[in-house]
Amino acid sequence: MFSRLSKLLVATLLLSLTAPAHCFAHFLWLTPVPTRPGTVEIHFSEDASEPEPKFLDRLADLKAVWHKDSQTAQPLELKKTDRALEAVASEPTGCVVTTHTWGVLDKNGAKYKLVYHGKALLGGDPARWSQNPIATQRLDLVPAWTKSQPAIVAYWDGKPLANAEVTVDLFTGDPVKGTTSAEGRFEFPSVTGVSSVRVKQTEPLPGEEGGKAFTEVRHYASLVFALPEAVADHSLALPELPQALTSFGAAVVGKTVYVAGGHLGESHEYNREDQSDDLWALDTAGDRTWKSIAKTHRLQGLAMVAHGGKLYRVGGFEARNTPDQPKDMHSLPLVARFDPSTNQWTDLTPLPEGRSSLDAAVVGDELFVVGGWKMSGKDRQSQWHDTVWKANLTQEPLVWQAVPNPGFQRRAIAAAAYRGKLYVIGGMSSDNKVTQAVSVFDPQANTWSEGPQLTGDTMEAFGASAFAQGDHLYVTGVKGRILRLSDNGQAWDEVGRMEKGRFFHRLLPLGDDRLIIVGGSSRSGRILSLELLRVAAK
């Protein structure tokens, strides 16, 4: 099987030897740009991923329309770039369509008019794509997903088109080819990234255009869509949190999500009554009902991890004041283990100092505790921590050991284990500035290094959450972007969008190919709803 580059070079050579003035293996594509929601590149080229700017002048009179729904249509302004025509819709949903007549061609004695019908689906959630044909498109391709089975239905003049030639390019190998069913339907595999579908329909309609006679009209419809790696999964109905929580601890054991402690009150308002002492459990494979299964200390700014079928709660602070008293907040060194089989907490060796606004992660069998500060009441200044502790969870009692100094003091961080290393992401530094820095600790080499900084709005690095799933590391933050560390570890790629951007939440794994987003808040307030994302498995 040729690589894409090899296929492109061979195709180019063959076309240069055999093709007349026009390249008949080329088509009109409207390709959504995943990194810029709502943006579409319109181009005439061999496939949907490779614009060929030399054909742009032939598209000078093209017009594109954005359809938000069956009731809303808006003409789009087209901007010529160095690679394509670019259209930007008012919202990152709906679809963009165009119909473009290329002209009359004479190929091997056949004279025909060539008409293209292009369509791009915006947004990466198939469940939200309209399954209604566009009335203005004579040849239209409409998404028809059934659960996890991708499919399209081809329509000709508003009716399903049977036995039409279909070519699907998933850009992972050879194209998938076939014909539509009697209902106009065609199914194909699901992959992440950009995919394209092309359908041909020949109309036996003679005529004349531009002084050139033709005996038939050949119509080609193209549909291009981008499935981000992280796709919203609406297949599992999940209940809202029983309490609007931020700055809590959360972890998953099996298919059960556990949430401990957290802040219940208004932002920047702290008192004992606004701190949760519940350990909540949600069995996503059972009755999917939140249950308070045990009590814990009234804490927020804590961390919780899972290991060996048990939960480990670390640090946090308690407010010792009532709502009408001055704030009196104390970071605690508490460490405890919860056994879901007995619903009992067991106190473990405490941290060497009180610590809150921290995070924790398990690398192998070792629990790492990083970041945070120590608050010691209303009359004392908080102490920022620059020590990172580790303890082997297979040993009793726990023994806390310091790792080499990381060279930073940060809180409101995200910590995650990934490929045998500890990643410390973002947070606020001791100068009270949010940082997009990423620090990486290698337990084998016992050394720290710097990873690629987060991109985008700086505030996305404050109160973010991170977890590895399917051999990829993901980060989510207040702007709603889902970032994934590139395979070479040198950059962060945007691979999806949350329905609601949030911070001081928790991003957790569920099964082998899903992530669940719990709690937190946005600039508009607390978020009770949970989000489920489907990502690429190993």
Cα gap 349→368, rounded to integer Å: 14
Q: Are 175 and 167 in contact (CB under 8 A)?
A: yes
- Coil vs helix vs strand at 530: coil
Cα gap 10→162, rounded to integer Å: 33
Which of these, 528, 479, 534, lies nearest to 503 by C-alpha position? 479
**Which segments of 180-275 are extended strands (E)?**
185-187, 193-203, 207-209, 212-214, 216-227, 231-232, 249-253, 256-260
Q: pLDDT at position 538, please?
A: 67
Residue owning tokens 């329509």: 155
**How crowded is the C-beta side of 104, counted as CA atoms within 13 Å?**
15
Q: pLDDT at position 172, please?
A: 76
Give the list of residues 6+ apart from residue 217 with CB closer than 8 angstroms, or none. Answer: 112, 113, 114, 115, 202, 203, 205, 207
Q: pLDDT at position 10, please?
A: 32
- One-letter amino acid at 409 equals Q
Residue 192: count other Cβ atoms within 10 Å of its Cβ: 20
Kindly state the helix (H) or strand (E) to which residue 127 belongs, with its residue range. Answer: none
**Which segments of 352-411 are extended strands (E)?**
359-363, 366-370, 373-374, 383-384, 389-392, 401-402, 410-411
Cα gap 153→162, rounded to integer Å: 9
Q: What is the mean pLDDT of each run of 10 residues along the chain (538 residues)?
A: 32 32 71 87 92 91 91 92 94 94 91 97 86 94 88 97 96 91 95 90 95 97 89 87 97 98 94 97 97 97 98 98 96 98 98 98 98 92 97 97 97 98 98 97 98 94 97 95 92 86 97 95 92 84
Q: pLDDT at position 496, please?
A: 81
Give the list of residues 6+ apart from residue 363 with CB closer than 8 angstroms, or none. Answer: 417, 420, 421, 422, 443
ω before 51 within 30° of 0 (cis)? Answer: no
| 330: alpha, beta or left? (left if phi > 0; alpha if psi -120 to 50) | beta
Cα gap 36→119, rounded to integer Å: 17
Give the list of residues 6+ apart from residue 466 with CB closer than 8 angstroms, or none. Answer: 414, 415, 416, 423, 425, 473, 474, 475, 476, 507
Question: pTM for this structure?
Answer: 0.71
Q: pLDDT at position 9, please?
A: 31
188 DSSP β-pair partners: none
Burial of residue 453, with CB atoms counted within 10 A of its CB: 0-12 exposed, 13-18 middle, 19 or more buried:
middle
Give the list of residues 6+ apart from residue 332 with CB closer than 8 angstroms, or none. Answer: 297, 299, 315, 316, 317, 318, 354, 355, 356
Q: Cα–Cα distances in Å, from 446 out to 352, 438, 440?
A: 21, 17, 11
User: Please, what are the domains in the chain?
Assistant: 4-227 (no CATH), 232-534 (2.120.10.80)
Cα gap 195→325, rounded to integer Å: 59
